Amino acid sequence: MHTIILKFLHHRSGMLLVLAAFLLSQSPLKADDSLTLVIQPIYGMDKTHESFQPLASYLSNITGTDIKIITYPNFITYWKETRDGQGYDLILDAAHFTGYRAK
């Protein structure tokens, strides 16, 4: 059973479904009814934003919530800005940082 779940999550649709379920299960949103999604600056700011905009648009369509992408000019700024867990609702981070951010 564990293997089936892992295979499901490795597929893009599985990951999107889990993310969408998470978004839909959240408590009431901020006054502006939007979520901020922070993404690592793996391609630079402009290319990262351009590459992940289809994901944000898709999630916005299925949840009815505006998803705003935030990225930073470099990893040092990214790490400083995301270290405290403030200023964003969702973060698309590398797996080895997941445990680092968990409390």
Q: For the segment 76-92, what is each residue's pLDDT rounded down to a tens digit?
A: 998 888 887 788 898 88
Please check the confidence at residue 50 and state whether its pLDDT lies above 70.
Answer: yes
Please check the confidence at residue 11 and state whether its pLDDT lies above 90.
Answer: no
Measured distance CA(97)–CA(62) in Å, rounded? 27
Provide mean pLDDT across the span 38-59.
91
Please check the confidence at residue 5 and state whether its pLDDT lies above 70.
Answer: no
Provide mean pLDDT across the span 31-56.
88
Q: What is the DSSP letter of 74?
A: S
Instruction: Tell me what pLDDT residue 51 has.
Output: 93
Backbone angles phi, psi at 83, to 5 degrees: -60, -40
Q: What is the DSSP letter of 27?
A: P
- pTM listed for this prediction: 0.62
Provide mean pLDDT across the span 9-36.
62
- Read off the pLDDT band of 67 (50, 70, 90): very high
